[in-house]
Amino acid sequence: MKKYLVGLGILGLLFTGCTQEQKNRISRGVQNWTGVNGVLDIYNGGKLVRRFIKINKLTTATATSGTESRAYRYGYGYIDSNLNYKVDKDEKKVYFEISNYSTQYIFYENPTK
């Protein structure tokens, strides 16, 4: 038990010495490993027009040659056609992209799990 507590203490000290970006990367790594039951709501004119559920993560696209980010995010999820937060038999898993410029969206963890 003492070894476990000492290990946690050392890990905590290392984590406090990280920059915010490093902490974010560690957190995303943990989420990628454990999984996230994400929901993506897409709005047009203030009205909900599409919902994707069971999304593990949204990924920011990067340039094919270089490290610059592109102006969109992408992921995989199920289209929630009836907006009930559940995958029904007719709802399929799809690839999607959302633009940083023209799309209003909210990404959050499914509140009904």
How far is 26 from 33, CA to CA, in rounded Å? 11
DSSP code, position 57: -
**pLDDT tens digits, one per residue of 52-97:** 999 988 888 887 777 788 888 889 999 999 999 999 999 999 999 8
Question: 41 with 105: CB under 8 angstroms?
Answer: yes
Residues 40, 30 share a domain: no
How far is 53 from 80, CA to CA, in rounded Å? 6
pTM of the model: 0.65
Residues 52, 18 share a domain: no
How far is 86 from 53, CA to CA, in rounded Å? 8
Q: Domain limits at 19?
A: 1-34
Residues 107, 96 share a domain: yes
Number of domains the chain contains:
2
Residues 55, 40 share a domain: yes
Residues 100, 70 share a domain: yes
State whether residue 74 is helix, strand or coil: strand
The reported pLDDT for the residue numbered 103 is 75
The reported pLDDT for the residue numbered 59 is 84
Residues 60, 77 share a domain: yes
Residues 105, 74 share a domain: yes
